[in-house]
Amino acid sequence: MGISRRKLLGLGALAAGASAGVTTIGPAAAATSGDFVPALVIGSGYGAAVAALRLGEAGVRTTILEMGRLWHDPGHDGKIFCATTNPDHRSMWFRHRTEAPLDTFLWLDVVNRPIKPYPGVLDRVHFDEMSVYVGRGVGGGSLVNGGMAVVPRRKYFQQVLPEVDADDMYRKFFPLATECLGVNDIDTDYFTDSDYYEFARVAGRQAEETGLATTFVPNVYDFDHMAREEAGTATKSALAAEVIYGNNHGKRSLDHSYLASALGTGNVTIETLHQVRDIRQNRDGSYVVTVDHIDETGEVVESKQIGCRHLFLGAGSLGTTELLLRARDTGALPDLDADVGQGWGPNGNIMAGRANNASQPTGARQSAIPVLAIDDWDNEAARVFAEIAPVPAGFETWISMYLAITENPERASFRYDPATDRAVLDWRRDQNTPSVASAKSLLDRINETQKTTYRHDLFGDDRAFADDFCYHPLGGCVLGNATDNYGRLKGYRNLYATDGALIPGSLGVNPFVTITALAERNMAKIIATDITT
Ligand code: FAE
What's the confidence (pLDDT) of residue 1? 47
Supply the DSSP symbol for 172: I
Residue nearest to atom 11 of ligand 1 (CA): 136
Question: What are the backbone dihedrals phi and psi of residue 41, each rounded to the nearest 5 degrees, phi first?
Answer: -120, 125
pLDDT at residue 532, rounded to an integer: 81
CA distance 37 to 26: 14
Q: Is the CB of 45 under 6 A from ligand 1?
A: yes
Task: Compute, in angstroms, the gap from residue 135 CA to the centroid of ligand 1.
Answer: 5
Which H or E run contains 271? strand 268-271
Which of 318, 323, 471, 498 has the most ligand 1 atoms within 8 A of CB, as the residue to mutate?
471
Is 225 an annotated catalytic residue? no
Residues in the chain: 533
Q: What is the pLDDT of residue 3?
A: 80
Q: Which pairing describes strands 372-376 and 214-216: parallel, antiparallel, or unpaired?
A: antiparallel
Nearest alpha carbon, ligand 1 atom 4: 45
Whole-Å CA distances, 53 to 6, 475, 495 = 11, 23, 17
Q: Which of 189, 232, 227 has its CA nearest to residue 367?
A: 227
Does the beta carbon of 42 lie inside 6 Å of ligand 1? yes
Compute the distance between CA of residue 164 and CA of residue 145 in angstroms, rounded to an integer: 27
Name the band, by pLDDT with cuts 50, 70 and 90, for residue 154: very high
The answer to whether 489 touches 42, Cβ cutoff 8 Å, is no
Q: What is the mean pLDDT of residues 472-496?
A: 98
CA distance 399 to 358: 10
249 CB within 6 A, ligand 1 = no
Whether residue 316 has its Cβ less than 6 Å from ligand 1: yes
Mean pLDDT, residues 403-412 taken together = 98
99 burial level (CB within 10 Å; 0-12, 13-18, 19+): middle
Please name each of the domains of the chain with its CATH number.
5-71+267-344+474-505 (3.50.50.60)
Task: Give SS3 for 155.
Answer: helix
Q: Which residue owns the Cα nearest ligand 1 atom 23?
A: 316
**What letter would DSSP give residue 173?**
I
In this prediction the pTM is 0.98
Separation in Å, CA 61 to CA 58, 122, 497, 515:
9, 30, 19, 23
C-alpha dist (Å) from residue 152 to 50, 52, 162, 222, 374: 19, 24, 14, 21, 14
Cβ-based neighbours of 92, under 8 Å, separated by 6 or more: 98, 99, 115, 120, 121, 122, 123, 124, 245
Say whether pLDDT at 22 is over 90: no
Ligand 1 mean position to 207 CA, how many Å? Answer: 30
pLDDT interval class at 16 (50, 70, 90): confident
> Does the beta carbon of 44 lie inside 6 Å of ligand 1?
yes
Ligand 1 pocket member 135 (CB < 6 A): yes
Q: Is 91 in the pocket of ligand 1 (CB under 6 A)?
A: no
- Which residue out of 230, 387, 407, 410 is catalytically annotated? 387
Which pLDDT belongs to residue 280?
A: 98
pLDDT at 18 over 90: no
Provide the pLDDT confidence category of residue 20 given band limits of 50, 70 and 90: confident
| CA atoms of 432 and 346, how far apart (whole Å) | 9
pLDDT band at 214 (very low <50, low <70, confident <90, very high): very high
Report the pLDDT averaged over residues 156-170. 98
Considering the candidates 72, 249, 274, 472, report the single residue annotated as catalytic: 472
- Identify the band that residue 188 occupies on the pLDDT scale cut at 50, 70 and 90: very high
Closest Cα to residue 146, out of 236, 251, 49?
251
405 lines ligand 1 (CB under 6 A): no
DSSP-based helix, strand, coil % in the chain, nearest 5: 30, 25, 50
CA–centroid distance, residue 139 to ligand 1 (Å)? 8
Please report the atom of ligand 1 found closest to the CA of residue 511.
Answer: 26
HSE value, Cβ hemisphere, 13 Å, CA-based, for 484: 12
Residues facing residue 185 across a β-bridge: none
Distance of CA 239 to the CA centre of its chain: 21
Q: Is the CB of 276 under 6 A from ligand 1?
A: yes
Query: pLDDT of 324-375, one tens digit each?
Result: 999 999 999 999 999 999 999 999 999 999 999 999 999 999 999 999 999 9
Q: Is 510 in the pocket of ligand 1 (CB under 6 A)?
A: yes
Q: Which atom of ligand 1 is nearest to the CA of 519?
A: 52
- What's the mean per-residue pLDDT of the chain? 96
175 close to 166: Cβ distance less than 8 angstroms: no
For residue 531, pLDDT beyond 60:
yes
pLDDT, tens digit, 9 for 90 and up, residues 446-481 = 999 999 999 999 998 999 999 999 999 999 999 999
Integer CA distances (angstroms), 515 to 142, 512, 522, in order: 12, 5, 11
Q: Is 472 a catalytic residue?
A: yes
pLDDT number for residue 527: 98
Report helix, strand or coil for 320. helix
Structure confidence by residue, pLDDT tens digits, 68-116:
999 999 999 999 999 888 999 999 999 999 999 998 898 988 899 999 9
Cα(526)–Cα(483) distance, integer angstroms: 13
Q: 62 Cβ partners below 8 Å, 6+ apart? A: 37, 38, 39, 40, 41, 52, 55, 56, 262, 267, 268, 269
pLDDT of 44: 98
* pLDDT at 2 > cutoff 70: no
Among residues 398, 369, 386, 368, which one has the least CA distance to residue 458?
Answer: 398
Query: What's the 123 CA to ligand 1 centre distance in angstroms?
Result: 10
